[in-house]
Structure 1
Amino acid sequence: MVPSSLANAPSQVNAYNGKRYVTSLTPTLSAKVTDPHGSGTRAQFELTADPGYADTTYSYTGTSSSVSSARRPR
């Protein structure tokens, strides 16, 4: 399944490369995920540092709690 309505806030788009960057250490991430059978669904999010601006290579992966299909996990 492919999520839709992806969003992160606060964020901004880099005018040079068109990529969206999170501008907070505590962002809100959201996506609309659905299951064709209507079962509970979770979203998994991953944040990685931009190597052009960070002197480290780390990533953070988080998974939302299970929600009824078609709701927006946060």
Structure 2
Amino acid sequence: MQLVCESGDFTRFSGPTALMARFGMDLSHISSGNSIRRGSITKTGNRHARKALVSAAYKCTHCPRVSVGLRERQ
């Protein structure tokens, strides 16, 4: 819900790359001559939406641990 509120209408973005750039999740790059180095995310977009995305990704990848006491009660 927070992502919808922060971004507005998703159809105004040309694609996922534009949406990630709006949230500041696109990669920075440094180019000099023929070499191009990619860095970390730019963090220039909406920080609230970026935090919601990171929190959702963390929640999907980390399962909460159930304590021994709770497991015994179940």
By the TM > 0.5 criterion, same fold? Answer: no
Give 1 or 2: higher helix fraction. 2
Normalised TM-score (structure 1): 0.22
Q: Counting strand residues as a fraction of each chain, which structure ranks higher? A: 1
Structure number with bigger Rg: 2
